[in-house]
Chain A
Amino acid sequence: MAPILEVDNLSMVFGGLRAVDSLSMKINEGEIVALIGPNGAGKTTFFNCVTGVYVPTEGDVYIQAPGATERRSIKGLKPHKITEGGLARTFQNIRLFSNMSVLENVMIGHHHRLNSEVFGAVFRDKKTREEEEKVVHDSYEILKKIGLENHVNDLAKNLPYGAQRRLEIARAIGTDPFLLLLDEPAAGMNPQETKDLVDLILRIRDNEKISVLLIEHDMSLVMNLSERIYVVDYGKLIATGTPQEIKTNKEVIKAYLGEEVDA
């Protein structure tokens, strides 16, 4: 089976800094893959390049939706086009629509799959009404799965921290992706919340059939959850393999220990 995401020698240069340095990656349908590395290794930048926030300096990014017959390049596309293509993401420093309700946040996720425009908004024709009802319903269903159904009308900014992280995931699922990119989803969560998160991610993969690529510093989460791991340091790929292989990889140990000595 063809990979659903294929990144080919991707580089991103800021001034003189190669934040990502010819990184390649393949993700297959149904996988949970982790991207790890010390602080400042270029993980978030990699996400930004894949999702169109930055246009990569070199390299290419291809996607092939499950069931599609051909892969296509998404390099240089606007972020919303990439989202339409089936990638969705969360942000490391939570970027919710703070003054909108929890439900509306998820409804925004559905935006690109809806058709009503100014005409529909003004006349509220039957099609628009049905569409709106469906969005509300679907969004609520997503919130139920994520466990936020008791907060539908709360403003996003009033949610507790952990719930905000989960709302980011709910919002991303709203876009109906085949691959979900999570940037440090467990950051700031307590052990119980982290445990729930692991279950949640597994459910997303198993029930929603969404593959997952996640950046995470919490090693026990990474080792428990992911089937394959990519390790980057200074923008370069230094190792890749199963959790078992990574645990014993010398390069990886050096990168992490080196960092600890520095810190």
Chain B
Amino acid sequence: MFNLKELRKSFLTSLWFMFLTFPIMVIKVNTITDTVEWRWRNLAFVGVSAFILSFVWRWALDRRAKGGKAKKDGIGFKATVLAKTNQYKLPGLIGIGLLVAILPFFASMYTTSVLTTALMYVILGLGLNVVVGLGGLLHLGYAAFYAVGAYTYALLHYHFGISFWVALPLGALFSAVLGLLIGFPVLRLRGDYLAIVTLAFGEITRLVLENWNDFSFGPSGIANIARPGIAGIKMKLPQATIFIYFIAIAMVILTIFLVNRLENSRVGRAWEAMREDEIASQAMGIDLTKTKLLAFSIGAVWAGFVGVLFAAKTTFINPASFTVWESIVVLCVVVIGGMGSIPGVVVGALVFTLLPELLRSVSEYRMLVFGITLVIMMIFRPGGLIQKTRKSYKFKKEGDGE
């Protein structure tokens, strides 16, 4: 590993990256005072990191190349892991459940609010997972559905004083309808084209919200949206925060339940078959049009729910919350967590929202790190943090005896 040839390679890589990052990392021109700041330390930093990382990189690529073959006969391994985890599943779940239930009574309001946000990403991730992870449809306009939910509540509340609980199903409904509307024209598109067109749809939605002042109040957004209440009781902010937290918990549980059921059904199988091979799935009797539209609109339902919840939580919304990057963040949650895997998406969402909070001092590096993480995940662990384990079936063989 550390022979001369390897050292030379790393050295050259290091030089290359020092050259590459030189203008942007080292020089900083201040155009107002007309001075130049030379940040040589950055150069040293790049040089050393590139030198080390280049070893790691080659080692990892090497391992990947070898791992490809080993994996094929490693089927037995997965099964044992599965059996082991199952044993801890129930106590684990109960523990987590308890923790989740009492947490907001001890944690600060800020923490509770952050946790609620994390839970909202869990739901968004699980919803998008239906479209991307199960259906294999790369959707980059998910934030539009989220926006539809939020604006449904905000506008209905503003104009008609509609309550949160009424808005919740309506937001989901409108969102699902938009899902269908977008789904129809893009039926024929595949892969990359689908991604870019959904992105375009998302951006159009945002631009409309931003510019159609009479309808959406433009960039200034809508304020004073009511927090959810029960039976007309007005809650103070701390109680309301906790209440919203529990609504989010309930929605997460419901979502996990529903997505799990959908996944292990005729509908979910059809989605997966479509993801694996559109042509073969059609040849096996799957109606592609129906299956795609269903994936789009079912996925949209959750974005609609979360949108309503988001509006209720922040009490203020404007189009800036629904940019492409919002869609991409949700995509990151799904991809990094594990496409198609429910625990994966849950973990992905928690990692994505809580880690930057824990590492506040470096939170500006969030997007930088996520960006490179996407790349690394795709290369080294395309299945995500927690890869999907397939349901396995047991049959009695003849001669086994009853």
Q: Which residues of A contact B (CB under 8 A)?
A: 51-53, 78-80, 83-84, 88-89, 91, 95-101, 103-104, 107-109, 111-114, 116-118, 120-122, 124, 128, 131-132, 136, 140, 149, 152-155, 158, 171-172, 174-175
Max count, chain B CB within 10 A of own CB: residue among A131, A153, A171: A153
In the bound complex, what is the Cα–Cα distance between A120 and B279 (angstroms)?
Answer: 26
Bin chain B's interface residue count: 20 to 34
B265 engages A111 (CB within 8 Å):
no
B107 touches A (CB below 8 Å)? no
Q: Which residues of A contact B6 (CB under 8 A)?
A: none
B285 engages A103 (CB within 8 Å):
no
A97-B281 CB under 8 A given contacts A104-B269, A158-B75: yes
B393 engages A103 (CB within 8 Å):
yes
Q: Which residue of A lies closest to B264 (CB)?
A: A121
B277 touches A (CB below 8 Å)? yes
Q: Which residues of A contact B298 (CB under 8 A)?
A: 118
Q: Which residues of A contact B18 (CB under 8 A)?
A: none
B273 engages A79 (CB within 8 Å):
no
Q: Which residue of B lies closest to A51 (CB)?
A: B283
Q: Which residues of B contact A112 (CB under 8 A)?
A: 285-286
Q: Which residue of A lies closest to B263 (CB)?
A: A121
Chain A nearest CB, measured from B311 CB (Å)? 26
Q: Which residues of B contact A120 (CB under 8 A)?
A: 265-266
B276 engages A122 (CB within 8 Å):
no
A140 engages B395 (CB within 8 Å):
yes
> Which residues of chain B (242-266) have a CB below 8 Å from chain A?
258, 261-262, 265-266
In the bound complex, what is the Cα–Cα distance between A112 and B262 (angstroms)?
Answer: 17
B357 touches A (CB below 8 Å)? no
In order of increasing CB-CB distance, the 9 nearest A-B pairs are A121-B265, A112-B285, A97-B276, A95-B280, A83-B285, A79-B282, A153-B392, A108-B273, A80-B285
B390 touches A (CB below 8 Å)? yes
Chain A nearest CB, measured from B333 CB (Å)? 21
Q: Which residue of B lies closest to A118 (CB)?
A: B267
Chain A nearest CB, measured from B373 CB (Å)? 23
Q: Which residues of A contact B300 (CB under 8 A)?
A: none
> Which residues of chain B (375-402) have a CB below 8 Å from chain A?
390-393, 395, 397
Chain B nearest CB, measured from A180 CB (Å)? 12
A91 engages B288 (CB within 8 Å):
no
B1 touches A (CB below 8 Å)? no
A101 engages B392 (CB within 8 Å):
yes
Chain B nearest CB, measured from A13 CB (Å)? 20
B46 touches A (CB below 8 Å)? no
Chain B nearest CB, measured from A78 CB (Å)? 7
B390 engages A175 (CB within 8 Å):
no
Q: Which residues of A contact B272 (CB under 8 A)?
A: 97, 99-100, 104
In the bound complex, what is the Cα–Cα distance between A209 and B273 (angstroms)?
Answer: 27
B286 engages A80 (CB within 8 Å):
yes
Partner of A158, one of B72, B266, B270, B397: B72
B392 engages A111 (CB within 8 Å):
no
Partner of B287, one of A78, A89, A95: A78
A121 engages B267 (CB within 8 Å):
yes
In the bound complex, what is the Cα–Cα distance between A158 and B265 (angstroms)?
Answer: 23
In the bound complex, what is the Cα–Cα distance between A111 and B274 (angstroms)?
Answer: 12
Q: Which residues of B contact A149 (CB under 8 A)?
A: 395, 397
A118 engages B294 (CB within 8 Å):
yes
B280 engages A97 (CB within 8 Å):
yes
B283 engages A111 (CB within 8 Å):
no
Chain B nearest CB, measured from A95 CB (Å)? 4
B266 engages A121 (CB within 8 Å):
yes
A83 engages B393 (CB within 8 Å):
no
A108 engages B269 (CB within 8 Å):
yes
Q: Which residue of A lies closest to B340 (CB)?
A: A99
Partner of A53, one of B269, B270, B279: B279
A121 engages B284 (CB within 8 Å):
no
Q: Which residues of A contact B390 (CB under 8 A)?
A: 100-101, 104, 153, 155
Q: Which residues of A contact B266 (CB under 8 A)?
A: 111, 114, 116-117, 120-121, 131-132
A117 engages B281 (CB within 8 Å):
no
B268 touches A (CB below 8 Å)? yes
Q: Which residues of B contact A140 (CB under 8 A)?
A: 393, 395
Q: Which residue of B lies closest to A157 (CB)?
A: B72
Q: Which residue of B lies closest to A139 (CB)?
A: B393
In the bound complex, what is the Cα–Cα distance between A52 and B272 (angstroms)?
Answer: 22
In the bound complex, what is the Cα–Cα distance between A172 and B270 (angstroms)?
Answer: 15
Q: Which residues of A contact B284 (CB under 8 A)?
A: 80, 83, 88, 108-109, 111, 171-172, 174-175
Chain A nearest CB, measured from B107 CB (Å)? 33
A95 engages B277 (CB within 8 Å):
yes
B273 engages A122 (CB within 8 Å):
no
Chain A nearest CB, measured from B351 CB (Å)? 24
Q: Which residue of B lies closest to A90 (CB)?
A: B283
Q: Which residue of A lies closest to B285 (CB)?
A: A112
In the bound complex, what is the Cα–Cα distance between A116 and B286 (angstroms)?
Answer: 13
Apart from A79-B283, A80-B286, A100-B269, 4 more pairs, CB < 8 Å: A101-B390, A118-B262, A153-B392, A171-B284
Q: Which residues of B contact A97 (CB under 8 A)?
A: 272-273, 276-277, 280-281
In the bound complex, what is the Cα–Cα distance between A83 and B261 (angstroms)?
Answer: 27
Q: Which residues of B contact A52 (CB under 8 A)?
A: 282
Q: Which residues of B contact A103 (CB under 8 A)?
A: 393
A100-B265 CB under 8 A given contacts A80-B282, A111-B286, A158-B75: no
Max count, chain A CB within 10 A of own CB: residue among B265, B294, B397: B265
5 contacts between A and B (CB under 8 A): A96-B280, A111-B270, A111-B285, A122-B261, A122-B262
Q: Which residue of A lies closest to B388 (CB)?
A: A99
Chain B nearest CB, measured from A67 CB (Å)? 20
Q: Which residues of A contact B281 (CB under 8 A)?
A: 97, 108
Q: Which residues of B contact A122 (CB under 8 A)?
A: 258, 261-262
In the bound complex, what is the Cα–Cα distance between A111 and B273 (angstroms)?
Answer: 10
Chain B nearest CB, measured from A106 CB (Å)? 10
